[in-house]
Amino acid sequence: MLLLINVRIPVEKDGSDEYVKAAAQKMSVGETAVHIVKILSKTLDAGDHEQFYYDLSLVVHASDSFENREDLPCYIEKKAKEQ
């Protein structure tokens, strides 16, 4: 699994299909090669008064044939501490 940060989505296009499209574009692969596993964060960027964006951090699963040319970081889920 890979960690994608700073994935920007216009607020009017918010939705899982757009997340997959943006992740695939960032990874330079087809949309069918990407599966969103988890949304780690989603914040509103209202810095541009003409267009608001959501900035997302996503955990994605890519196909086994994905060549990580951009050197995207791997996501390692932290286990909860037992009490």
pLDDT digits (tens, 9 = 90+) for 41-65: 999 999 888 999 999 999 999 877 7
45 lies in some domain: yes
What does the pLDDT look like over 14-45, one tens digit per residue?
999 999 999 999 998 989 989 999 999 999 99
CATH of the domain at 12: 3.30.70.2700
Query: Which pLDDT belongs to residue 36?
Result: 95
Residue 36 lies in a domain: yes
Does the residue 31 lie in any domain?
Answer: yes
The Cα 54–Cα 81 span in angstroms is: 31
pLDDT of residue 79: 79
Q: Is residue 39 part of a domain?
A: yes
* Cβ atoms within 10 Å, residue 83: 3
pLDDT of residue 13: 93
- Whether 80 is in a domain gets the answer no
Whether residue 82 is predicted with pLDDT greater than 70 in this model: the reply is no
Q: Does some domain include residue 69?
A: no
* Strand spans (E) along 1-83: 2-10, 34-45, 53-62
Domain, as residue range, for 14: 2-62
Q: pTM value?
A: 0.82
For 16-53, letters b (16+ CB in 10 Å) and e give: eebbbebbbebbebeeebbebeeeeeeeeeeeeeeeeb
